[in-house]
Amino acid sequence: MNALSSIEESAISINASKVVSRLQDNGFQAYLVGGCIRDLLLSKSPKDFDIATDAHPEDVRELFRNSRIIGKRFRIVHVRFGREIIEVTTFRGPHADEYDENHSDSGRTLSDNVYGSFEEDVFRRDFTMNAIYYNQREKELVDLADGIKDIENKIIRTIGDPEDRLREDPVRMLRAIRFQGKLGFSLETELERSIKSLGHLIQDVPAARLFEEALKLFLSGYGTAAFESMMNNNMYGWLFPESRRSMENNATEELVRLALTSTDQRIAKEMPVTPAFVLAAMLWYPFVEEKERLEQEDGITHLTAANEAANNVISKQQLFTSIPKRFSGMMRDIWFLQSRLPARFGKKPDRTLEHKRFRAAYDFLLLREQAGEKTEQLGEWWTEYQEATEERKQAMKQSTGKGQKRKRKRKPRPKTDSNDKVSLH
Ligand code: ATP
Ligand code: MG
């Protein structure tokens, strides 16, 4: 018996076990499958538990009061136990739509053959390591796609021809990259070659789904590794074209790496993280460049230029990955605060300190400095200021204040246009 032939029963979610037993007690087939089995075989703790069954969504819904059906084209049942959601999926047939239950358009009628047999379900899955099924009652692993062997050899391999499977659903490229980062596995040669040449297909994926995938890539605790893999496989630029472009003559690559390292470390310490911080880093230099370009225009104020630059850069990115408003708002705050941080006289520093995004903006400033930006020890100043006594604060403001006042002489600003109404947050 080899090392990867058994499952540690005690690591299985009690709720998932309950769902499996109830389905089986009612005469249905039910298996734990996907990432949970893959992770258990690797002695990692699974993120969530997925169940595959021959019961139809309505059958499942009837068996569990605490459940609801989600998805329009391919319906899945979520069974809820407090904070834990167990996802129950009916076996997919050859004509099931892609694995995109959250963003499918409504109104299309279901064809009769979206549901399939157990065997059909196996071969609809993406990678061999994700197609291992566990029958809890029999304590038996069912591995028709030979996934265990690939897990042992640490290989990510598509089920079937890589190019066909990636064309069928280009998000599989991002999934492969994510698993590579998370598990430290390598991509099977043909899969790697296909990813490197088919990145452009990502353009056909809806922006909302790509945002979800980007979150999983960069905010699951292995963001740095995922980023390296995205770069090595020529994928990064298909998701973040402006950020990729700005790597040619700016410190973007370093800044992104630093932001992701900090995010990974925070996740490891169970501290809160936000995609806004990472996105702000990815698009910082495109924002700065755009702001400088706009500032060349006659009669534009710094404020208007900053606002318009943020609008332009964010809306360009949204053609690729959507960015929900709460995150774009936070990105703007982080960016705009960067130009308030150098103002250190009078009431300004304390006002800046009170801003609800001060902490994120300060962390961001430190990363800019680490990435090589020259800021005249601004980070150090703020580090000290936050901890300083009232007396020391006054002294710090005076010494920088004088210097700043001397430098403050600048050209009178021309009158501004109507866009100036837009206010900074
Ligand atoms: P994670 O650890 O991120 O949860 P996972 O492999 O469980 O990884 P899920 O998105 O939870 O990923 O999907 C559950 C299972 O559904 C996968 O293991 C795989 O078998 C199948 N699956 C998910 N997305 C796809 C896809 N795009 N194409 C084919 N099969 C997919
Ligand atoms: Mg999963």
Cα(36) to ligand 1 centroid in Å equals 10
Which pLDDT does position 98 carry in this prediction? 53
**Which pLDDT value is given to residue 401?**
56
pTM of the model: 0.88
Residues of the chain with pLDDT under 50: 1-2, 101-110, 112, 403-410, 413, 415-425
Ligand 1: which residue has its CA nearest to atom 14?
34
Q: Ligand 1: list residues with CB < 6 Å.
A: 34-35, 47-48, 50, 99, 125-126, 130-131, 169, 171-172
126 belongs to the catalytic site: yes
Q: How many CA atoms, within 13 angstroms, populate the side-chain half-sphere of residue 286?
A: 25
**Phi/psi of residue 77, each to 5°?**
-110, 130
Residue nearest to atom 25 of ligand 1 (CA): 99
Find the 401 Cα to ligand 2 centroid distance in Å: 55
Distance CA 305, CA 311 (A): 10
Model pLDDT, residue 282: 98
- Is 54 among the residues known to form the active site? no
* CA-closest residue to ligand 1 atom 24: 99
> What pLDDT sits at residue 6?
80
Residue 415 confidence (pLDDT):
45
The per-residue pLDDT for range 291-334, each reduced to its tens digit, is: 999 999 888 999 999 999 999 999 999 999 999 999 999 999 99
Give me the catalytic one of 50, 143, 150, 264: 50
At residue 206, the pLDDT reads: 95
Q: Which of 298, 295, 316, 156 is nearest to 241 (CA)?
A: 316
Distance of CA 424 from the midpoint of ligand 1 (Å): 41
Beta carbons of 361 and 274 less than 8 angstroms apart: no
The kind and range of the H/E element at 62 are helix 57-63
243 CA to centre of own chain:
16
For residue 363, what are the contacts with CB-CB under 8 A and spacing of at least 6? 262, 277
Q: Report the nearest-CA residue for atom 5 of ligand 1.
A: 35
Domain boundaries, the chain: 8-153
Q: 48, 100, 169, 420: which is the annotated catalytic residue?
A: 48
> 124 C-alpha to center of ligand 2: Å?
15
CA of 346 to the centre of ligand 1 (A): 55
- Angstrom distance (rounded) from CA 388 to CA 385: 5
Q: Which CATH number fits domain 8-153: 3.90.1150.10, 3.40.50.150, 3.30.460.10, 3.20.20.70?
A: 3.30.460.10
CA angle 374, 378, 383 (to 5 degrees): 135
Closest residue by Cα to atom 26, ligand 1, is 99
pLDDT confidence of residue 18: 97
- Residue 266's pLDDT is 97
Q: What are phi and psi of 171, to 5 degrees?
A: -65, -20
Tokens 């659903």 identify what position?
Answer: 169
Q: Tell me whether residue 121 is one of the annotated catalytic residues.
A: no
